């Protein structure tokens, strides 16, 4: 099956620092990757859609300068939380869909970010 | 816009059957997903319906009625490990990028 990995799985950082999260599709090419944010006991909130080789499309209310997304290859997308603050603490999940394939999204295991 | 509704919480007994409903009001429709998510983990795919009717997969079944904007997930022979959140999601018909919109999720608790 299609496998998506995320790294790191957990990160704790000081306020004001930047954190980079990687999302990789391990055994398939993904022209599109998605970044979600999830608060405790809440559903997934789509932050942005990341297309290989082009700028990401951000959802309304998501600051593109705060959450930098790069999709440099068909198997890697990165999310950088810049100048992180405690309110950025959350569970960040990426997903990928198969290029030219069915509609299912395959999710990574998530990254727990804690900003002190 | 898209609006997806499902109950916030449900409780059921081990060995029983439970039905989790989902209603949606969207400007278009191009498929409905059900995902299971255990606490602290990523969602895992359960089912995908694009045509009306029932799709059965082992202990789990999913039903769709496009005219009513309605779906349900049926879980049979409940096991303790089925305690999780169940997310209903609709594919955005105006997105060429397989974008899907999630409902708020239903937290299912299984009691012995």
Contact: B30, A103; criterion CB under 8 Å = yes
Task: Note if the bond before A8 is cis, omega within 30 degrees.
Answer: yes
Contact: B40, A105; criterion CB under 8 Å = no
The whole-number pLDDT of residue A79 equals: 97
Tell me the nearest-neighbour CA distance from B60 into chain A, angstroms: 17
Contact: A105, B100; criterion CB under 8 Å = yes
d(CA A111, CA A10): 5
The whole-number pLDDT of residue B96 equals: 60
d(CA A87, CA A97): 29
Report the mean per-residue pLDDT for chain B.
91
Residue B93 has pLDDT above 80, yes or no: no
B6-20 confidence digits (pLDDT tens):
999 999 999 999 999
The whole-number pLDDT of residue B39 equals: 87
- Report residue A7 as tokens: 């790294």
Question: What residues in chain A have per-residue pLDDT under 70?
Answer: 1, 99-103
- Report residue B27 as tokens: 């400007």
Residue A111 in contact with residue A8, Cβ under 8 Å? yes
The whole-number pLDDT of residue B97 equals: 59
The whole-number pLDDT of residue B28 equals: 77
Residue B27 has pLDDT above 80, yes or no: no
Taking one residue from A and the other from B, the number of pairs with CB-CB distance under 8 angstroms is: 54
Q: What share of chain A is helix, strand, coil (3-state, %, to 5)?
A: 5, 55, 45
Of all residues in chain B, the percent with pLDDT exceeding 70 is: 96
Report the mean per-residue pLDDT for chain A.
90
Smallest Cα–Cα separation from B43: which of A112, A67, A38, A56?
A: A38
């Amino acid at each position: 099956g299609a496998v998506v990995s995320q790294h790191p799985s957990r990160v704790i950082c000081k306020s004001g620092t930047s954190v980079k999260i990687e999302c990789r599709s391990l055994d398939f090419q993904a022209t599109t990757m998605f970044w979600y944010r999830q608060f405790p006991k809440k559903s997934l909130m789509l932050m942005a859609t990341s297309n290989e080789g082009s700028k990401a499309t951000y959802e309304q209310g998501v600051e593109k300068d705060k959450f930098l997304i790069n999709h440099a290859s068909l198997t890697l997308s990165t999310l950088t939380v810049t100048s992180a603050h405690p309110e950025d603490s959350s569970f960040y999940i990426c997903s990928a869909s198969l290029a030219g394939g069915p509609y299912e999204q395959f999710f990574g295991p998530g990254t727990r970010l804690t900003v002190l | 816009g898209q609006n997806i509704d499902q109950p916030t919480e449900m409780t059921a007994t081990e060995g029983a059957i439970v039905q989790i409903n989902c209603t949606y009001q969207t400007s278009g429709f191009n498929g409905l997903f059900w995902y299971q998510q255990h606490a602290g983990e990523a969602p895992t795919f359960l089912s995908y319906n694009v045509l009306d009717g029932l799709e059965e997969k082992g202990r789990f079944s999913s039903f769709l009625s496009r005219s009513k904007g309605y779906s349900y997930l049926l879980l049979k022979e409940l096991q303790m490990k089925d305690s999780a959140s169940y997310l209903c999601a609709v594919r955005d018909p105006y997105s060429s990028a397989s974008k899907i919109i999630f409902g708020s999720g239903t937290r299912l608790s299984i009691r012995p």
